[in-house]
Each structure stands twice: as structure tokens, then as C-alpha cells.
Chain A
Amino acid sequence: MAGPVPPVRTALVAGGLLAALAAVAAAGLQLGAGSLDDPTHGAIFLELRALRFGAAVLAGSGLAAGGVLVQGLFRNPLASPSILGTTAGASLGGQLVLLLGGGLAVSVRPEMLLSVGSVTGALVALLVLLALLRKGADRVTLLLTGFVLSTLLVAAGSFVVSVAQEQHELGRAVVAFTLGGLGGVGWAQVILAAPLVGIGLVAAWLWSGPLDLLLSGETEAAALGVDVVRARRWVVVWVAILTAAGVALGGNVAFVGLVVPHALRRIVGAEHRRLIPLAALGGGVFLAGCDVIARLVPTRAEMPLGVVTGLIGAPLFLWLLRKTVTT
């Protein structure tokens, strides 16, 4: 279809992102502590790095696509799962599962339940946010409400961390999950998160038509035939699933869901059927790239992934905010 975004440009962006993904994959497999030429451990290093790369791509895709959806849902380009407290909710859900799972010593391994906890946490956070917002709340009210909710959930998360510290192993696991990072990611987590990201992406893409109409506001969308209540309900579910999968893999990683969709929207336009798949690809490249940077920085311990995305994302967010306020 013709538009301000010729299909050629979309194809170029997709091609560029695929090339970047290949480059990041090559770097991610090569770089890191330990040599691939090591006769005894080389194969293990390669497997761990491949696993880590896959987890980064999945988490980045989920968070970026989740960002596209909340920005569409709230018609606010500055909204994102991390700013609205959705990632903090998913994080808290995950922390609670680790805490209770560890405490109860149940037969199921905690990481199996991590996804369930994160999805539930994200869903609750989104529902609370929707309940707090009055109809027609403006952009600033949305961001402030999300910020307060996020702060509350992070505080609750810190409380869980301090409780978990009473048991050494549990404390370590909860802190590692909270800081984010793909260093300790295992097959179980990737296998659990992959279907969540896959289902979330396909479902979100199938809803791209109503999401486009919702950009006109609820009254106009309803006049154009969208069942607004139903659309909102389902989009909230897909956001929760995508965000939770991202958090279950990479922890509370900020800014991916904000920066990636925003940058892409400027290049390929706001139509969701283009934006959702490209944001998923772009989010994967961004997070896998940040993970490579986290490994490259010469600190004694590896730099947490959330720190890298924050250091890149926060200045970008401020720049976007400035631009949005002035326009």
C-alpha cells in the first residue's frame, strides 16, 4: 500500500536490522571470557553464548513490541512498560515467585514458575494503572501515575529482596534477577519465554488494525467499528505477556520499550502492522547489542544489562521528552 513510508524504506529498515542482528550475533558468539579454541570448554562457551544471544533477542523483542502496544493503547509516544510500572510489576511478580518458591521448597523449580509470576505481576500493574486513570487523562498525568506506580512496585520489590537476603542462595538469586542480565540464563528460561514472546508478537500483530484506529481516540475508533473495551482488554493481555517474557529473561531492563519503537516510528510511520514486527527485530538487536557492550566494559564483575540500557536509554528519553514538550 502506498503511504509516506514506501515499502522500499520498510524493506531497507528490515534488511538493515537483519544485518545488524547478524553482526551482533557474530560479536556475541566471539566475545566474552574464555576462548572458543579451548579444546575442553570451547563448545560449552559457544553454547552458553548462543543461549545468551537468543535470550537477549527474545527479551528485547518482547519489551520493544510491548512498548509499541502501550504507546498505541495510551496514544502516548512517551509511554513504555518500564515507565508505566509494567516491568516493575513483572519484576515483582518474578521476585515473589522466587521468594515463595524458595521458601516453600516446592517440587517445581522456581524458574518454571518465574514466567507465571512475571505475567501475573505485569497484568496486575497494568490493570491498576488503568483503574487509576480517569477517562481522557492527559499525557503528563499518565506518565506521573505510571511513575508513582512504578516507584511503589520497585519499593515492594526492594522489600522482597531484603526479606530474601535472610537466605544466602535465595538472596543471590533474587538480586541477580532484579538487576537483570543474561549471564545466568539457562535453557529452561529460554524455552519457557520463547512461546510467550511468539504468541504475544503474533497476537499483537493480528490486532494491528484496531490499534491503528485507536490512535484516533476511543470515540473515533468506536465510530469506525472498534469494540474499544474488548480491544483494550486484549492489548493489555498481550503487553503483559510480552513484557513479562522480557523481564523473566533479562530482569527489569529499562528503556528498550521506549527508545526502539520511538526511533522506528519516525522512520517507518505509525502503522502497527509494520511497526510491531520491526520493533520486535529492533528490540532484539538493541538488547543483544547492549549485552555485548556489558561484556566488553572492563570491570571486574560483568556490568549489569539494566545499567547499560539505562545509560543509553535515559539520555535518549530526555531528548525525546524535550522534543515532545517543545512540539
Chain B
Amino acid sequence: MSLEARAITVSRGGREVLMEVSLAVEAGAVTGVLGPNGAGKSSLLLALLGALADGLDAGEVTLEGRPLSAWSAGERAQRVAYVPQTTELTAPLSVRSVVAMGRQARTGWSPWSQLGADEVVDDAMARTDVTGLSERRFDELSGGEQRRVLLARALATEARVVLLDEPAASLDVGHALSLYGRLRELAADGYAVVVVLHDLDDALRFTDRALLLREGREVAMGPTPEVITPERIETVYGVRMRREAGLRFEEMKA
């Protein structure tokens, strides 16, 4: 499963937000996309998803060697899954129905294909620890619970590439750790995980590789500890970086 952006340039609202950025998504690894606000991180994710309204200005995104645009929406959905930063879903739907949305690209659109039990849905819910919420209404869950349900929906697609836009934003420390733990497990199972994130400490702890962006351009790409250096952080973020022992939180194993 290979998803690759080659020297892509993207404009949104008449402004170039990405310039000649490349990223080869790697199976079995968590890749972090880093950079200050407005660096083009979310745009890169949408480009990898093929969801930019106006497409690319230059370069190309390929999936298994074919241009992304040559795949149908259904074929793409079976290969690349997406977890948005915030969902626009506010309708009264059960958690289980939301997770089951991830199945439609595989099972077909007909109303009767959505009936009956689905082990993939059960499994996705168990992996993200939302089985207990199954009968609850999605629009009445907390932000953290919703995020886990959206991850379950992404897993239910059985896509092996998972793109996440700031999945830990607004999560408390416990839920954030738990979520990153899940992402590490996915990578260990051979998934390719791409995650946009703000917290550099989280990036160092939970990602294998990182792409650092600034104003739409690549600053560095490689193993995360090599990308996050004091000099680069000073240039890109305008802050001084010091390594020192502070508080450290870890998930408690049951």
C-alpha cells in the first residue's frame, strides 16, 4: 500500500499553501506532519486524501502507483481513511451507525446491505474502546469520545492508510495518551499512519518519522529526533527549545 505526494503545489483561496512538498507514506510507521499554524499541514492531509476542491496546481499524488484521481471515491475509501479534527456530523445517529458508515464503500450503498451484524464494525469499536457507547447518540458524546468513534469509523473501512488531523486536540492527557497508544498499535500491525500534530513532545514520543513544514515548504523530513532539533525549532517556530526532565505521563496497563 503506497500513498505518495510528489512535489505538490496547492493553492487555496488564491494563496499558495503548499509549495513542492513531497511525502511518501510508509507502512508500519507513524509519520507526523509538523509546523506552526498556517504551515499547510491540513492542506497536505486533504491533498493525500484527494479532497481538495480545486485539486493540485502542480505535482501529483499517487496511490499504488496510479494517480489518486484515477481511483473512484469508493476504491479510494477502501485504501485511505481519514479522521477529521472536528466532524460536521451533528445528526442524531447511534455510535454504532456512525462506525458502520465506514463499511459502505465495501458493502455497497443499498439500504439492505447495512442490515445485520458486522464483525469488522465490532472489531473497530473494540479496538478504540467504544463498544460500551454503541447505543449512545453520537451528537451527545464528549469531544474525546467522538474522536474515538471517528477513529473506529476510519478503522471500519479496513483501509491500511489512516490520515488523522490533530487527533489529540482538546483531549485530556489520559485520552490523548490512549489515542496515541492506538496509533502505535496500528503501525505495529503494518498500517501506515499519518498524523498532523502540534505538540512537539508528542511528536517525539509517538511518531517514527516527521515532516516539518513552514509557510507551505518542507523544512526537514526524516526520523523524528533528527527533524526536531533546537536550531530548526528556533527558525520555524521562533522559540528556544531546551531538553529538560519535566512531568511525564504514561498510560496505565490494566
Contact = CB atoms under 8 A, between A and B. Distances in A.
A216 B157 CA distance: 15
A95 to B, nearest CB: 36
Of the candidates A2, A208, A212, A224, the one having the most CB atoms from chain B within 10 angstroms of its own CB is A224
B2 interface: no
A265 interface: yes
Contacts, number: 112
Interface string A75-92: 100000000000000000
Contact of A5 (B77, B94, B101, B115): B94
Interface string A254-267: 00000000000110
A4 B49 contact: no
Size category, A interface: 20 to 34
Contacts of A1: 96-97, 100, 114-116
Interface in B52-90: 53, 72-74, 76-78, 80-82, 84, 87-90
A15 interface: no
Contacts of B91: 75, 215, 265, 270
B94 A217 contact: no
B246 interface: no
Contacts of B96: 1-3
Interface residues of B, number: 44
Given A1-B115, A227-B72, A219 B93 contact: no
B135 interface: yes
A219 B105 contact: no
Given A219-B51, A227-B72, A270 B93 contact: yes
B93 A220 contact: no
Contacts of A270: 91-93
Contacts of A215: 89, 91, 93
Given A220-B82, A224-B105, A265-B92, A209 B77 contact: no
14 contacts: A2-B134, A2-B135, A4-B136, A135-B53, A209-B104, A210-B109, A212-B97, A215-B89, A216-B87, A219-B84, A220-B88, A226-B104, A265-B91, A266-B92
Interface of A: 1-5, 75, 135, 205-210, 212-213, 215-217, 219-220, 222-228, 265-266, 269-271, 273
